[in-house]
Amino acid sequence: MAPMRDSLVRENATALYRQIADRLREEIAAGRFEPSGRLPSESEIGIRFAVSRVTVRLALDRLETEGLIERRKGKGTFTVGKRVRHPLDRLRSFHESLRLQGLNASMRPLSAAITATPPDLTGAFGPRCLEVRRLHLVDGEPVALGRSLLSPELVGVDWMAAGEKPIYAVLKEVTGKPVVGADIEVKAEAAGAAVAEPLGGTAGMPVLVMIRRSVFADGACADHAVFHVRPERYSFVLSHRWEG
């Protein structure tokens, strides 16, 4: 079956691209492209309206000039202002937070190895700890690099096989204890090459940094995680209600 096509008033090229821009503007306002904020490709838009890619580009140029969309080389076209949100007032893993927003989220294991414990964490993990690195993606695009320091007793976990299983779930399986709380700090910094490269950027790029210390019910440290996050489409939110 041939794809459905939207009808346009075909007077001239100018009228066509303006009509397409008007239609897409209305759909952006209505939230049609939520939750990712990603628009169809130029080819898909061209098929939908039965127009050339030149006409599609003119329409997108118009929306870009109006500040409604942004084009990201090799990534696609997105609505401006659409951000992935991570609530700070709920105890959720980073990956779970993405999935609960209806996003096409995935997680790629990068490494898992024993390393020297930072001096401020030796009381929690001893002189050596397990470092697990994972890359978080939305629509195949990197959004965050996660690095978790864990007890060396988790060294026997096959982290590659664990795939997209949240670290909180792995901790409960291995220790039998659920994570019950976390202290979180958020700041901004310039990324070094080791962080920027997996995120698809260059050294010096700005990143948001979330530092999270999670604990078990007895107060023992469950994990110490640092997430370096691309800030263009990501925000941290904290909700609060006054008691009265």
Q: Of 79, 103, 125, which marks where a domain is finished?
A: 79
113 & 194 share domain: yes
- Residue type for 78, please? F
107 & 216 share domain: yes
**Full domain range(s) for residue 50:** 13-79
Whether residue 58 lies inside any domain: the answer is yes
Please, which pLDDT band fits residue 13 given cuts at 50, 70 and 90? low
Q: Which CATH number goes with the domain that contains 62?
A: 1.10.10.10
Query: Taking residues 108-123, what's their average pLDDT?
Result: 95
98 & 23 share domain: no
229 & 117 share domain: yes
Nearest to 33 by CA among 43, 46, 23: 23
Q: Which CATH number goes with the domain that contains 224?
A: 3.40.1410.10
Q: What is the pLDDT of residues 69-115, one digit of tens each?
A: 888 887 889 887 656 777 777 788 888 888 877 778 899 999 999 99
Q: Of 79, 112, 135, which marks where a domain is finished?
A: 79
Cis ω before 231 (30° cut-off from 0): no
Which DSSP letter does residue 26 get?
H
201 & 102 share domain: yes
Count of the separate structural domains present in the chain: 2
Question: pTM of the full predicted structure?
Answer: 0.69
Residue 129 pLDDT exceeds 80: yes
Q: What is the pLDDT of residues 131-159, one digit of tens each?
A: 999 999 987 889 899 999 999 999 999 98
**Distant-in-sequence contacts of 93-102, Cβ < 8 A, 24+ apart:** 93/166, 93/167, 93/168, 93/169, 94/136, 94/144, 94/146, 94/225, 94/227, 95/136, 95/164, 95/166, 96/166, 98/136, 98/138, 98/143, 101/35, 102/35
88 & 201 share domain: yes
Please tell me whether residue 23 adopts helix, strand or coil conformation: helix
70 & 103 share domain: no
Q: Of 79, 99, 123, which marks where a domain is finished?
A: 79
